[in-house]
Amino acid sequence: MDEKSNSSHQRFLVVLLMVLIFGVIMIQYVCPSKSECQMLHHLGSWFTVGGPPRPRIGDNEMQDGLQKDPYIAEDGALARFVPRFNFTRAELYRVVDFNMKGDDVIVFLHIQKTGGTTFGRHLVRNIKLERPCECHAGQKKCTCFRPGKKETWLFSRFSTGWSCGLHADWTELTSCVPVVMNKKDKKSVQKSKKSFYYITMLRDPVSRYLSEWKHVQRGATWKTALHMCDGRPPTQDELPACYSGDDWTGVSLADFMNCPSNLANNRQVRMLADLSLVGCYNMSSMSELERGHVLLASAKANLRNMAFFGLTEFQRKTQYLFERTFGLRFIRAFTQINSTRAASVGISEKVRWRIEGLNALDVELYEYAKELF
């Protein structure tokens, strides 16, 4: 009797053990990523290693064998965003087959006061390359040739200069870059097989707006910008100046906000949208509300279709996303600098609401970008 009881007990333990092993296998099959089924993986680790999960170096490895951001505690706020938009996996996990030795070109759309100058310098001075960019003291531009060729793989302020105009926007770049690049490489547009990968940087709209105000207050104008659209610049009636004289030095924040034609308002949406869809700078072609809807939808679509974009507030994640997208590596890690001039500006809640109202399209785009990031 005792022998039968022991035998039954042993069979029960064997069956139970097999069920547990099968369960662990199923966990690994159904949830291959720890981020997808965190609790189940913790449960499975009890049986696979004989105890509770412990931190280890391998936990810092990302899917596809890529390294996770080691500074996740610093900018982990992204994980707390409540999803509002339905993005496809392809939109969220963008990887391009960038061929530096072929004809591919990275085009940097530099929006004012988004940290673009710093990022632009990273592109020419901080990437591990077979043939590094040649940068010389005292020169504003670097030479970024492909290995074995005298052709550039990068279209940016610090490589090709403002070849399509000062701070050229999406509308200007998409019509200008192919012509300029083929002229530089002495190729006809028809025969060229170049792939242009557009990238940009975005920033919190209120911080960006305040930063632009401080910049203009110190004497910046960008008045040499072309603002080309449908083959022509805007007329003075279409884009009236906010000030008389050479610049707007010393402008107060109130006066800066009170100029209706101030291009600082919703700058990020305007520079990412196809302006030809709204009659360029002709404000009479449609209502302000309709114009805003069209511009925002266009900016969102162009942002989705970009090979890469970064966020000023998340420097490390910007670095690793660029590295994963293009298969390139930076030499030195990006640093997060929050002590900007904009950060030092103290504004009331009422003024903040006013700025958000003037930049309502940018606010919506930035929320969209944070989730797409």
DSSP letters spanning 247-292: --TT--HHHHHH-TT-TTTTHHHHHHS-GGGGTTT-GGGS-HHHHH
Exposed, middle or buried: residue 191 (CB in 10 Å: 0-12, 13-18, 19+)? exposed
Q: Please give the Cα distance from 125 to 135 (Å, whole number).
A: 8
Q: Please give the Cα distance from 355 to 351 (Å, whole number).
A: 6
In the annotation, is 122 catalytic?
no
Residue type present at position 159: S
Q: Which of 41, 110, 122, 167 is flagged as catalytic?
A: 167
How many DSSP H helices and E strands does the chain contain? 12, 4
Q: Please give the Cα distance from 186 to 189 (Å, whole number).
A: 10
Distances from the Cα of 333 to the Cα of 156, 171, 268, 312, 317, angstroms: 21, 32, 26, 14, 10
Q: Please give the Cα distance from 60 to 200 (Å, whole number).
A: 27
- Is-contact 114 212, C-beta < 8 A? no
Exposed, middle or buried: residue 269 (CB in 10 Å: 0-12, 13-18, 19+)? buried
The catalytic site residues sit at 167
